[in-house]
């Protein structure tokens, strides 16, 4: 039991894929322009990560070593295509704003990384907990980044069309630089620096 | 080649083939399930776009060869619409252009309106192409007046976003010319057939 909880906590805190391992930065930087995108991306990544970890873990004893990477890629690509088609069918507006970054989950290093480093060597329950932990870790990171970018870039916070609050002064004169790609780099670097400095992340 | 060697060579290939086959089955199932919904949402999106221009439309026909939407009300043609792509400052700007239907010659072509489908222009500057203060300027303008005011036309550029503005103007002008040529040709052929 303790082992399973450790697997879960590992992804969220100790080896958070974005904030510690610095994996999967491409979607994190690119789609974190609004909280809606962050939630949509997290849901997609979580689904693909859990399913791929389960499948890879189930077939780990039968997969020949030499073709394991192609096998993992085929599995991940299939799952991603399923997510992409389902999103296009039922959530067209979200699918439009996430755009190319849904198909690009195929090459997201978090997913292949967990399949190769963890799921192919561990039992199914552990693999599920690892995927959930990593997925939540990714979700927390991308949510923090998009929260900061949306607040600074537009001056107000709205989630799925409901305005939650707006900062007087900033909403009239927002700083659109934080919505632009450059803002993503500023936010993530300042965030990492703050976490390092405050000791939340141990360097090393 | 010994027997165990052969096995070592062949098993990975078979395994990968097997995985690919399973994946194909899943993809086929997902595709046939979602195909209809995706088609529907696309049609809805197109209809909404056309409705933005022709609020009173009740039907439209899409001609794939000409890439042209003909809009009907009570079985009469009330206008034409088509999509075009402009090369903006931040990438492609996808536009829908609507025309009044009552033209028989080149210089009678009146633009009904334009709207921006998607764009990646700079927020706060080029982004203003979606606002009616810019795109509304096209409503009811003769095609020969579609040019920026500095070039003698009737469209005011967005200050600070000349590239975005002129990209839209150029794309509208060129595509309208191109499409109306086709429409007029078709009209003439039909007229000749009729007479």
Contacts of B13 in chain A (CB under 8 A): 67
Search chain B and give the residue with CA nearest A56.
B19
Cβ-in-10-Å burial (0-12, 13-18, 19+) of A174 comes to buried
Amino acid B194: pLDDT:
55
**DSSP codes, B140-173:** T-BGGG-SBGGGTSSBPPPTT-HHHHHHHHHHHH
- Average pLDDT on A42-49 reads 93
**DSSP codes, chain B:** --HHHHHHHHHHHHHHHHHHHHHHHHHHHHHHHHHHHHHHHHHHHHHHHHHHH-TT--EEEEETTTTEEEEEETTEEEEEEEEEEEE-SSSEEEEEEEEES--SSGGG-BEEEEEEEE--PPTTTGGGGGSHHHHGGGTT-BGGG-SBGGGTSSBPPPTT-HHHHHHHHHHHHHHHHHHHHHHHHHHHHHHHHH-
Better-scored residue on pLDDT, B184 or A187: A187
d(CA B82, CA B98): 7
Show pLDDT as tens, one digit a residue, over chain B (195 residues): 566 777 888 889 999 999 999 999 999 999 999 999 988 888 887 788 788 788 777 778 787 777 788 888 887 888 888 888 898 888 888 888 888 877 777 777 888 888 888 888 877 788 888 888 888 888 888 888 888 888 888 888 888 888 889 999 999 999 888 888 888 887 777 766 655
Contacts of B15 in chain A (CB under 8 A): 62-64, 67, 71
d(CA B172, CA A121): 58
Q: Does B123 touch chain A (CB under 8 A)?
A: yes
Contact A48, A83 (CB under 8 A): yes
Q: Does A67 touch chain B (CB under 8 A)?
A: yes
A204 inside domain: no
How far B17 CA sits from the closest chain A CA (Å)? 9
Any idea what DSSP says for residue A91? -
Backbone region of residue B91 per phi and psi (left: phi > 0; alpha: psi in -120 to 50; beta: other values): left
Per-residue confidence band for A203, with pLDDT thresholds at 50, 70 and 90: low
Q: What is the ipTM score, two decimals?
A: 0.79
A176 inside domain: yes
Terminal C-alpha separation, chain B:
81
What confidence tens digit (pLDDT) does each residue in A82-108 have? Answer: 999 999 888 888 888 888 888 888 888
Cα A95 from chain centroid (whole Å): 16
Backbone region of residue B54 per phi and psi (left: phi > 0; alpha: psi in -120 to 50; beta: other values): beta
Nearest to A89 among B20, B38, B122 (CB): B38
Q: Does A177 touch chain B (CB under 8 A)?
A: no
Strands (E), chain A: 156-159, 162-166
How far B34 CA sits from the closest chain A CA (Å)? 6
How far B121 CA sits from the closest chain A CA (Å)? 10
d(CA A145, CA A1): 33
What confidence tens digit (pLDDT) does each residue in A151-186 have? Answer: 888 888 878 777 777 777 777 778 888 888 899 999
Domain total for chain A? 1
Give the length of chain A.
204
Q: Does A2 touch chain B (CB under 8 A)?
A: no
Contacts of A176 in chain B (CB under 8 A): 122-124
- Average pLDDT on A67-78 reads 93
The pTM for the full model equals: 0.73
Search chain A and give the residue with CA nearest B45.
A92
Contact B98, B175 (CB under 8 A): no
A203 inside domain: no
Taking an 8 Å cut-off on Cβ atoms, the answer to whether A92 and B41 are in contact is yes
d(CA A97, CA A92): 9
Taking an 8 Å cut-off on Cβ atoms, the answer to whether A74 and B37 are in contact is no
Amino acid A46: pLDDT:
93
Amino acid B30: pLDDT:
94
SS3 A16: coil
A155 inside domain: yes
Amino acid B193: pLDDT:
63
Q: How far is CA B144 from CA A85, B28, B129, in A?
A: 43, 50, 20
Q: How far is CA B111 from CA A77, B102, B166, B177, in A?
A: 45, 11, 17, 11
Strand order in the sheet with B76-87: B59-63, B68-73, B76-87, B92-100, B111-118
Per-residue confidence band for A81, with pLDDT thresholds at 50, 70 and 90: very high
**Structural domain for A15, as ranges:** 2-197
d(CA A75, CA A58): 12
Contacts of A82 in chain B (CB under 8 A): 26-27, 30
Beta bridge partners of B154: none
How far A135 CA sits from the closest chain B CA (Å)? 23
b/e map of B148-157 (b: 16 or more CB within 10 Å)? beeeebebeb
Per-residue confidence band for A202, with pLDDT thresholds at 50, 70 and 90: low
């Amino acid at each position: 039991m303790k082992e399973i909880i450790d697997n879960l906590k590992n992804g969220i805190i100790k080896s958070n894929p974005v904030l510690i391992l610095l994996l999967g930065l491409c979607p994190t930087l690119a789609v974190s322009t609004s909280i809606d995108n962050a939630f949509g991306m997290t849901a997609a990544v979580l689904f693909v990560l859990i399913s791929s970890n389960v499948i890879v873990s189930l077939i780990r004893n039968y997969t020949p070593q030499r073709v394991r990477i192609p096998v993992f890629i085929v599995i991940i690509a299939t799952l991603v295509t399923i997510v992409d088609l389902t999103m296009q069918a039922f959530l067209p507006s979200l699918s439009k704003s996430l755009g190319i970054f849904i198909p690009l989950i195929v090459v997201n290093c978090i997913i292949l990384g967990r399949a190769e480093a963890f799921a192919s060597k561990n039992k199914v329950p552990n693999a599920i907990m690892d995927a959930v932990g990593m997925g939540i870790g990714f979700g927390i990171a991308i949510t923090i980044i998009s929260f900061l970018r949306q607040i600074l870039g537009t001056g107000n916070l709205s989630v799925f069309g409901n305005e939650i609050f707006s900062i007087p002064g900033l909403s009239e004169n927002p700083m659109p630089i934080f919505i632009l790609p450059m803002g993503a780099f500023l936010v993530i670097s300042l965030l990492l620096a703050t976490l390092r400095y405050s000791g939340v992340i141990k360097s090393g | 080649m010994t027997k165990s060697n052969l096995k070592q060579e062949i098993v990975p290939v078979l395994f990968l083939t097997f995985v690919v086959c399973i994946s194909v089955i899943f993809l086929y199932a997902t595709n046939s399930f979602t195909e209809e919904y995706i088609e529907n949402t696309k049609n809805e999106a197109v209809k909404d776009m056309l409705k933005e221009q022709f609020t009173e439309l009740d039907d439209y026909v899409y001609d794939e060869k000409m890439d042209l939407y003909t809009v009907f009300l009570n079985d009469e043609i009330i206008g034409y619409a088509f999509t075009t792509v402009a090369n903006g400052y931040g990438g492609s700007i996808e536009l829908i252009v609507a025309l009044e239907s009552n033209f028989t010659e080149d210089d009678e072509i009146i633009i009904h309106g334009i709207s921006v489908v998607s764009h990646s222009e700079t927020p706060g500057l080029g982004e203003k192409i979606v606002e009616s203060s810019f795109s509304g300027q096209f409503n009811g303008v003769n095609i020969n007046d579609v040019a920026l005011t500095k070039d003698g036309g009737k469209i005011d550029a967005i200050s600070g976003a000349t590239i975005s503005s002129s990209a839209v103007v150029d794309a509208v002008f060129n595509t309208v010319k191109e499409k109306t040529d086709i429409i007029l040709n078709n009209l003439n052929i039909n007229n000749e057939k009729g007479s």
